[in-house]
Amino acid sequence: MKIVTLILAGGKSSRMQKDKALLDINGKPLLTNIYHIAEQCTDQVYIITPWQDKYRPILPVDCNFITESSYFQGGLIAFFEALNYINSDWILLLACDLPFLTVDDLKNWINTLGNISENTIAFLPKNDKGWECLCGFYRRNCQDSLQKSIQTGNRSFQQWLNQENVKELVVKNKQILFNCNTPKDYEKVVNS
Residue range(s) defining the domain that contains residue 175? 3-190
**Average of pLDDT values for 14-31?**
87
**Average of pLDDT values for 26-36?**
95
* Cα–Cα distance list, 119 to 75, 123, 159, 160 (Å): 24, 11, 18, 15
**Average of pLDDT values for 108-125?**
95
**Average of pLDDT values for 174-191?**
88
Q: Of 178, 174, 185, 136, which is closest to residue 158 (Cα–Cα)? A: 136
**Average of pLDDT values for 97-116?**
95
CATH number at residue 24: 3.90.550.10
Q: Is residue 72 over pLDDT 70?
A: no
Q: Is residue 120 over pLDDT 80?
A: yes
**Average of pLDDT values for 61-84?**
87
**Average of pLDDT values for 148-158?**
94
Average pLDDT, the chain: 92
Specify the 3-state DSSP secondary structure of 104.
helix
* Cα–Cα distance list, 10 to 146, 152, 153, 190 (Å): 19, 23, 20, 23
Specify the 3-state DSSP secondary structure of 60.
coil
> What's the total number of domains in the chain?
1
- The whole-model pTM stands at 0.94
pLDDT at res. 3: 97
